[in-house]
Amino acid sequence: MIERMEFWHIVGDITVLLSVAVFLGILAEKFGFSGIVGYLVAGTLIGPSMLGWVASDEKTIVSIAEIGVALLLFTIGLEVNGQRLKQLLGRGMGIGVLQVLLTGALGYAITKLFGESYQSALIVGSMAALSSTAVVSRVLQDRSELDAPHGRLTFSVLLVQDLAIVPLMLLVAFLHERPEESALVAQVGTAGAKLVVLFVVILLIGLLILPKFFGAALIRRSNEFPVILGLVTALSAMWFAEELNMSPALGAFIAGLILAGTPFASQVRGDMAPLRYIFLTLFFACTGMLADLSWLIESYHWLWTIGVVVGIVIGKSTIVWLLAMALKQPRRVSIAAGLCLAQIGEFSFVIGAEAMNSDLLSDNLFQLLISSSLITLLLSPFLITKSRPIAKTVDTFLGGDVSLELSDEFNTIQNHVVIIGYGVSGRKVVAELIESGQQVLVIDMGPVGVNQAKIDGALSILGNAQRREILEHAGIRSAKLLVCTLPDHRAASQIIQQARTFAPSIQIIARARYSIHAKHLEDSGADIVVDEEKCVGDSISKETLQKIGL
């Protein structure tokens, strides 16, 4: 049990870690890098190898931070309904399986060439096979590229890699205990049975119980209950997976996957975003703490590290590129996906730590892998950001011309009108727009309004438009007009400011219920504010003049 004083020491360390991470994250983005780079550097800077500002047990903080990865997979699962998962795995299953096997085999062979034991070589191969779901998914999601062809292919391979974690962890246990062949078969069978139990239990809860809670009128009217219920759902799935000795992140992803088919997915995804960002920031900072800079600078270890980094980036990207091309993927998509996957991921740290605890890796080999992995993670945001331009350049040079345009999802439609709120005002606006042939997307917090919008011929999203994820999902960057029909001027102001952040040039029309709020909405960024009191006054004046014959 954690003592009271120890608990507050942990809280203090987390506060310091998050504070430095946020500062360096802002600094990184100011200079054109991903904030993730700042988070990783923050962990290294204040970790035990440098300033040593964090005094708590690293494992405790890392365990807390792992919630961030699980919440990320939970929210991603919310975007992947059953049909889309089938498409993703159908596209990436072969590539993912072959990538894990070939990368693992290459890592094994190279490690054996340097005289390491076969156990160490298998561990190195296992670690090299995995890419970073947390980093890659976060950057692709921030860039609205998860639904791009290369994004879908990348995520498909990441899904296969995440599923491979279970047998790879079993491999570590096998290498440590050296069981008989029959015992190994039993272990694999047990793991498969646990996976089935995990999926079935979460499926039953997700289909039979959760819809009743989310559909309750009290839940729909509340701002806080959906957040709490979504968090409880994710944490429950994580806890149950951990009880089965499986990955909590896998449990969270399955929970999100099952909820993806419900009309509440967008709302839950938006509500989970703030918590996800906090824990993910903590996770990346904790990952940076694993680096030992004193080891890196002694005995030319940095030269070995650079060599491993170059090998990882070139080797993994080339393997994915060639496999994808062999399985009939376009060249440009294959190159971009390869660059996105050219790193060693966070779950590799888990495998490495287990191997260290089992005396399967030497200290030098472990630090070499950790240092190299951290550098590849630092490079990943840059490689992902530049993957499309690099792929286009290489493909053009080789004589290809394959588009990397986004798919026809909400966030990829062009020149549409986004309507916030589907009350009387919203329905009137939508009816006029659809009649004139415009493409319309409605965002509303009520299932009734969302369903009615679909019936009326509009695309629709259930969710709170004050959440940036909801606006991004609605394709706000490519919309030509935003119409906010909400009577709440505070909510409208926040939505307008968020929209201006993502789409500075978009035209915005807002509704002001009272004249006193009109100026506030204009200051928030609305181009046109429809003043209800003024409109009512004009209408009454007109009717009055007509009645008296003027």
What CATH number does the domain containing 230 carry? Answer: 1.20.1530.20
> 342, 376, 397 — which closes off a domain?
397
- 454 and 506 belong to one structural domain: yes
394, 465, 389: which is closest to 426 by C-alpha? 465
Cα angle value 336/340/343 (rounded, 5°)? 140
On whether residue 298 sits in a domain, the answer given is yes
- 237 and 359 belong to one structural domain: yes
Q: How confident is the model at residue 318, as a pLDDT?
A: 93
On whether residue 51 sits in a domain, the answer given is no
- 447 and 498 belong to one structural domain: yes
Indicate the pTM of the whole model. 0.58
Crossing angle between the packed helical segments 301-326 and 331-340, to the nearest 10 degrees = 150
- What's the average pLDDT block by block, 10 residues per block, for the chain (550 residues)? 64 81 85 74 80 66 66 71 59 82 92 85 90 81 71 84 73 61 58 72 72 61 68 80 74 78 69 73 77 76 88 92 85 88 81 73 83 85 86 77 43 82 90 90 83 88 80 86 88 89 90 86 90 86 82
Q: How confident is the model at residue 317, as a pLDDT?
A: 92
**CB-based burial, 189-200: b 16+ in 10 Å, e otherwise:** eebeebbeebee
308 in Cβ contact with 110 (< 8 Å): no
Residue ranges in 398-440 assigned as alpha helix (H): 424-435
274, 283, 276, 293: which is closest to 346 by C-alpha? 283
What is the spatial distance between Cα 189 and Cα 182, in angstroms, rounded to a whole number?
A: 11
On whether residue 458 sits in a domain, the answer given is yes
459 forms beta bridges with 441
Q: How many domains does the chain have?
A: 2
Residue 363 CB coordination number (10 Å): 10
314, 300, 301, 306: which is closest to 343 by C-alpha? 314
Q: How confident is the model at residue 489, as a pLDDT?
A: 82
On whether residue 479 sits in a domain, the answer given is yes
Q: How confident is the model at residue 408, as a pLDDT?
A: 41
On whether residue 7 sits in a domain, the answer given is no
On whether residue 67 sits in a domain, the answer given is yes
- 168 and 271 belong to one structural domain: yes
Q: Domain range holding 421? A: 410-547
Q: How confident is the model at residue 212, as a pLDDT?
A: 67
DSSP class of 420: E
Beta-strand relationship, 507-512 and 440-444:
unpaired
